[in-house]
Structure 1
Amino acid sequence: MTRIPLWLLVVSQGVISAASLVVEIVAGRMLAPHVGMSLYTWTAVIAVVLAGFSAGHWWGGRLAEKPPAKALGWTGGALLAAAMTTAGAVLILPALAEPVLRLVAQPVWGITALTALVFFLPSFFAGVPAPVLAQIAVTTADRSGPALGAMFASGAIGAIAGTLLAGFVFISWLGSAATLVVVTIVYVASGALFLWLGRSRGRGAALASAVAALGLAGLALAAPDPCDRESRYFCLRVEDVSADPARPVNLMVIDHLAHGISARDLPLVQFTEHTAMLDALSMQRSARADFTSFHIGGGNYAVPRAFAARGTGPITVAEIDPAVTELAAEAFWFDPDTATVLHEDGRRALLTRPDQRYDIIIGDAFTDVVVPVHLVTQEFFRLAADRLAPGGSFLINVIDHEDRLRALASIVATMRTVFPVVEVWTQQVQPLPGQRMVFVVVGGDSRTEVDAFTVPAPDQTRFGALGDAFVDQLVEARGLVLTDDYAPIDRLMGRQD
């Protein structure tokens, strides 16, 4: 075998490492339409990918003991296998998601099992080349130490480059499927290079594998896209749920959850429990009609749209994803000229505007089914209280389960350390055992003047405040004070049980 230049080994290791990290980032994005984008999604992805790399490195170390030409031939075959399993991930994930998640009902294990079935093999095969290439570099270079250091550095730099390219370029410009097709092509090219360098005899099988990988890549590109729009943050989809095509009603789906419904001809009517409560309670608690409001999370912009239709005072919305705002304007009849839209995190938006005061601050941001951790802590509630005008109110949308209510209790307990009055509102109906329930928690200086109200949601729905004695008992039994240092909101929701 002809001596391979060190630069070629270094570049190859960097390219393969970059491609493998692109797959890791894309894995989280692809899983989101099925399981959401949560701490547990990323934990499962990182664990599965690292397990695959580790197993691949072990096997690659075994291959590295073989003569260089033979080791390169095996490595080329491994990369062709990586190409096939990477392209195949686009096709098998939708097929496996529903049966796996139904079979493994516990969320953490369901996410982990699905991730392992789809993304372990691509990571395993991508982990094979590193020890083989390092062994060749060390044994053929004039100085083994610098050669080994160069190989390690190349792998790390490639991993950094792949992470940045996936997060900042590929996903938002190409989408998940096309990004994995690019990785597939990189793996095929790299595999072909190593087979050629190793003068492998199995050229027919290698050619068939390459054709199969590229064929799977083509099928991946032709597969139905679960997203109408794939942004840097979310998989976004619009569904028409109207009964009359002449009077359109659209549903916004972000990742795997419905985030709001709007009707073109009914800007003042809310179609979900949480927006109905947020809208009505804001009206109830405002001292004047032209109140100012700050909204954390835009979604389909149903509440800001209703405020604008009523002619309230200045409306500010902090929505981290510009694509969500664009979709709300295109498909949910939100007029961006009626509000000041800040495309940044809501807590940061409040923090960097110390001179602004609002009559109403609404928290309606979610990561999967939980409020983002940094938006439920004592430190955040203090910030929100500081940005309220005298007599202002803070409202937050909370989801919890009827048989737990630990997340709700902890948010109430935390808000009570900041606000003199804290109320919990929900629909006045007997919940089913274990039912997922929607609440709005209100913090302020005074109580709401009514303890119940009826508004369209879209049918006439009655909402009421939970009794103080019940809330006190709930907080005492299940409430934790959440801080920036300790806010286990996912566990409190029961996602680890």
Structure 2
Amino acid sequence: MNILHRQSSAYEQIIVYETDRLYGEKGHFRVLQFANTDVQGALDLNDPQRIVFEYPRAIIHLLEHNVQELERLYIIGQGIGTLGNYFADRDVQIAELDVEVARLSVKYFGCNAEHILIGDGRGILSMQPDQHYDGIVLDAFGETGTPLHLVSMECLYLMRSKLHDSGYIIMNLIGRGPNDRRLHAIYTTLCEVFAYVQCFQLPVEKNSDVRNIIMMAGSAPIRYQLRQMAGFTVMQPEIAYVLYDE
């Protein structure tokens, strides 16, 4: 491992490094990682256009398969800017709470600083015009997972008001599948706000294992081709409780 940068921000301890092996794959990778070992993104230096992780590939498929003319996209959570870079030819706004994450994504991963807005994603979204976006992507995490105020009933109604009638919200979540009551609650809350909700998960060895979960919601049916979902399979959460602002 070759460490390029290490620092503490107001929210995280951040490391940028290069490595010849990532999750068992040999190559040449540049990685943004938090001190709790959570990898926020990786760039394949041998093929910079390649999207390394499965979840952004699945999100791209869902957006492109459901939104015929994707023009305006709002993303909460910058990471290394994978989605922002992919949709760089569209009107993309990215809300990032941590100014150091934003700065490092520009310096080490080639992101366009003009797309990035520093601040809380919900607060920034509240100031945007109604029915403005074709898609809203939530990809933000704190120490305990996705922050409550970004998945509450109140926030989801806000998101719905900012989407076109044919727009969608997509969430990248981390959880334990059937054993994760918080994930069931997020699903339940989405069902209260949107007419259509679809969930997907990456396969794991045991039900108790942590895995990536994608939830998509909108006012129109959700279409997908499973072979284009980068290994994600359909998941059906249980109906649980509704999440409200504290």
What interval of TM-score do these two structures reach, taking the shorter chain for normalisation? 0.7 to 0.9
What is the letter of the counterpart of residue 140 of structure 2? A
Alignment correspondent of 1:187: none
What is the letter of the counterpart of residue 87 of structure 2? F
What is the letter of the counterpart of residue 431 of structure 1? E
CA–CA distance in 2 between the matches of 1:240 and 1:377?
37
Gaps (5+ residues) in structure 2? 22-26
Report the secondary structure of 1:326's partner residue.
Answer: helix
What is the letter of the counterpart of residue 129 of structure 2? P
* Change in CA separation of 1:287 and 1:403 when aligned onto 2, cut-off 3 Å: closer
Percent identity at matched positions?
23
- Contact kept? 1:451, 1:464, Cα under 8 Å: no
What is the CA deviation profile of residues 98-151 of structure 1, one whole-angstrom value per residue up to 9, with x for unaligned ones?
A: xxxxxxxxxxxxxxxxxxxxxxxxxxxxxxxxxxxxxxxxxxxxxxxxxxxxxx
What is the CA deviation profile of residues 61-94 of structure 1, one whole-angstrom value per residue up to 9, with x for unaligned ones?
A: xxxxxxxxxxxxxxxxxxxxxxxxxxxxxxxxxx
- Contact kept? 1:264, 1:332, Cα under 8 Å: no
Greater percentage in helix: 1
CA–CA distance in 2 between the matches of 1:280 and 1:405?
26
Alignment correspondent of 2:30: 250
What is the CA deviation profile of residues 265-315 of structure 1, one whole-angstrom value per residue up to 9, with x for unaligned ones?
A: 545432223222222222222121x4210000101111111112xx3x200
Q: How do residues 53-452 of structure 1 correspond to structure 2 at under 5 angstroms?
A: 228-242=6-20, 248-256=28-36, 257-264=38-45, 266-288=47-69, 290-308=70-88, 311=89, 313-337=90-114, 339=115, 341-355=116-130, 357-402=132-177, 404-427=179-202, 429=203, 431-452=205-226
CA–CA distance in 1 between the matches of 2:47 and 2:74?
22
Alignment correspondent of 2:24: none
Report the secondary structure of 1:316's partner residue.
Answer: strand
What is the CA deviation profile of residues 397-418 of structure 1, one whole-angstrom value per residue up to 9, with x for unaligned ones?
A: 1111145121111001001110
- The offset of 1:354, in angstroms, is 3.5
- Contact kept? 2:179, 2:207, Cα under 8 Å: no
CA RMSD of aligned residues (A): 2.2
Counterpart among 225, 241, 246 of residue 480 in structure 1: 241
Normalised TM-score (structure 1): 0.45
Normalised TM-score (structure 2): 0.87
What is the letter of the counterpart of residue 374 of structure 1? H
Larger Rg: 1
CA–CA distance in 2 between the matches of 1:278 and 1:232?
29
What is the letter of the counterpart of residue 336 of structure 1? A
CA–CA distance in 2 between the matches of 1:366 and 1:327?
17
* Change in CA separation of 1:318 and 1:399 when aligned onto 2, cut-off 3 Å: same
RCO higher in 1 or 2 (8 Å CA, sep ≥ 6)?
2
* Change in CA separation of 1:372 and 1:481 when aligned onto 2, cut-off 3 Å: same
CA–CA distance in 1 between the matches of 2:207 and 2:117?
40
Report the secondary structure of 1:453's partner residue.
Answer: helix
What is the letter of the counterpart of residue 200 of structure 2? W
- Contact kept? 1:403, 1:435, Cα under 8 Å: no
CA–CA distance in 2 between the matches of 1:441 and 1:269?
23
What is the CA deviation profile of residues 372-415 of structure 1, one whole-angstrom value per residue up to 9, with x for unaligned ones?
A: 11111000000000000120000111111145121111001001
* Change in CA separation of 1:435 and 1:347 when aligned onto 2, cut-off 3 Å: same
What is the letter of the counterpart of residue 236 of structure 1? I
Gaps (5+ residues) in structure 1? 1-224, 456-460, 486-497
- Contact kept? 1:296, 1:318, Cα under 8 Å: yes
CA–CA distance in 2 between the matches of 1:403 and 1:416?
17
What is the letter of the counterpart of residue 62 of structure 2? L
- Contact kept? 1:369, 1:399, Cα under 8 Å: no
* Change in CA separation of 1:355 and 1:448 when aligned onto 2, cut-off 3 Å: closer
What is the letter of the counterpart of residue 329 of structure 1? V
Paired residues, what number?
237
Report the secondary structure of 1:417's partner residue.
Answer: helix
What is the CA deviation profile of residues 146-177 of structure 1, one whole-angstrom value per residue up to 9, with x for unaligned ones?
A: xxxxxxxxxxxxxxxxxxxxxxxxxxxxxxxx
- Contact kept? 2:67, 2:134, Cα under 8 Å: yes
CA–CA distance in 2 between the matches of 1:267 and 1:443?
31
